[in-house]
Amino acid sequence: MACAQCDDTGWKPVELDGVHRVERCDCWRERLVRDRLAEANVPKRYLHCTLDTFSAYNESLEKAAARARRVAEAFPVVGKGLLLEGQPGVGKTHLAVAVLKQVVQASGARGLFYDTRDLLRVIRSTYDPAIRTTEIEVLRPVMQADLLVLDDLGAEKTSEWVDETMNLIVNTRYNERRLTIFTSNYLDIPDDTDPNALLFRIGARMRSRLHEMCEFVEMDGADYRELPANGGVDDLVTLWKMRRRTLPARASRAARAQLREPPGRDGKADLKWPGGRAGT
Ligand SMILES: [Zn+2]
């Protein structure tokens, strides 16, 4: 059925102070937002994520949600992106997607989501080692998206090619002042020998660039995937407290500050940091 206001032209007649003009019809805006969301590559399981459905049941999550909201509401006048760091399942991807969706819905901007490893796989599939180039059709939307979410940074296997490619993407976006939100399971600790450290995973050059272009936000919470289907916020709090008890000595600063007892009775911390897991 054709739009009653614009007959599907996308322009509707308006009268202002006796002057007849046309302006963009609501249906045009709605269609634009719908198309932009469809093009944003958000995985199905995160499509429902919004800022309002994010449950912030502790201080670190409240802070993260507030910062995410600030970025979404201030867009496009935002100086820095975000790097959401924390263990798998605390809701980093939820928040990143929520910002992306809100920005697209409010402004019709071009948003793009990629799991970092998926992106590198796609780029590699068009890479020609003989001439050391990648098809620009793959890279262009990644470079030019108004807001890019790069999920699970650091999980990719490193190589010279990966470093080069990631630096190219990140530096181009930095130079053109485009907003990027990263999520990572790795800790931002200044230790380049610890495999759980972001620094170890991405190198000093990339880490210092990320600090220039992003606000680092630590998120500490339960793994929501351990929550039973009928579980609620109370269960998340319980799971979170259980998880905190097993935190290693070098765990997140926020978590450590909140934790008043020593890490383990035997003095040893035994948390396995499943850093390589995707999708959080
Ligand atoms: Zn219309």
What separation in Å is there between the alpha carbon of 197 and the centre of ligand 1? 52
186-221 burial: b if 16+ Cβ within 10 Å, else e: bbbbeeeebebbbbbbbbeebbebbeebbebbbbbb
What separation in Å is there between the alpha carbon of 118 and the centre of ligand 1? 37
What separation in Å is there between the alpha carbon of 109 and the centre of ligand 1? 20
What separation in Å is there between the alpha carbon of 50 and the centre of ligand 1? 27
Confidence at residue 277, expressed as pLDDT on a 0 to 100 scale: 39
Q: What is the pLDDT of residues 111-143, one digit of tens each?
A: 999 999 999 999 988 877 777 777 778 899 999
What separation in Å is there between the alpha carbon of 2 and the centre of ligand 1? 8
What separation in Å is there between the alpha carbon of 10 and the centre of ligand 1? 5
Confidence at residue 260, expressed as pLDDT on a 0 to 100 scale: 39
Report, as an integer, the average pLDDT of 78-99.
96
What separation in Å is there between the alpha carbon of 11 and the centre of ligand 1? 7
Confidence at residue 253, expressed as pLDDT on a 0 to 100 scale: 52
Is pLDDT at 268 greater than 70 in this prediction? Answer: no
**Residue 192's closest CA among 183, 203, 184, 182?**
203
- Classify the phi-psi angles of 103: left when phi > 0, otherwise alpha if psi is within -120 to 50, otherwise beta: alpha
Confidence at residue 116, expressed as pLDDT on a 0 to 100 scale: 96
Q: What is the pLDDT of residues 31-65, one digit of tens each?
A: 999 999 999 999 999 999 999 999 999 999 999 99
Q: Chain-wide mean pLDDT for the chain?
A: 87
Report, as an integer, the average pLDDT of 185-190.
90
Q: Give, in order, the Cα–Cα distances in Å from 118 to each of 5, 7, 85, 107, 121.
A: 42, 41, 19, 27, 5
Confidence at residue 137, expressed as pLDDT on a 0 to 100 scale: 80
What separation in Å is there between the alpha carbon of 111 and the centre of ligand 1? 24
- The number of beta carbons lying within 10 Å of the beta carbon of residue 146 is 18
Whether omega before 228 lies within 30 degrees of 0, making that bond cis, reads: no
Confidence at residue 19, expressed as pLDDT on a 0 to 100 scale: 92
Q: Give, in order, the Cα–Cα distances in Å from 261 to each of 3, 6, 245, 271.
A: 64, 66, 9, 16
Domains of the chain, earliest start first: 27-222+229-258 (3.40.50.300)
The length of the chain is: 280
Confidence at residue 90, expressed as pLDDT on a 0 to 100 scale: 95
240-267 burial: b if 16+ Cβ within 10 Å, else e: beebbeebbebbbebbbeebeeebeeee
Confidence at residue 193, expressed as pLDDT on a 0 to 100 scale: 87
Compute the distance between CA of residue 111 and CA of residue 179 in angstroms, rounded to an integer: 10
Instruction: Give me 115's structure tokens.
Output: 């799991």
What separation in Å is there between the alpha carbon of 101 and the centre of ligand 1? 23
Report, as an integer, the average pLDDT of 215-228.
92
pLDDT confidence tier of residue 153, bands split at 50, 70 and 90: very high
Is pLDDT at 190 greater than 80 in this prediction? Answer: yes
What separation in Å is there between the alpha carbon of 9 and the centre of ligand 1? 7
pTM: 0.83
Cβ contact 59:192 at 8 Å:
no
Confidence at residue 252, expressed as pLDDT on a 0 to 100 scale: 52
Confidence at residue 130, expressed as pLDDT on a 0 to 100 scale: 78
Q: What is the pLDDT of residues 226-267, one digit of tens each?
A: 888 888 889 999 999 888 887 654 455 545 444 433 444 443
What separation in Å is there between the alpha carbon of 3 and the centre of ligand 1? 5
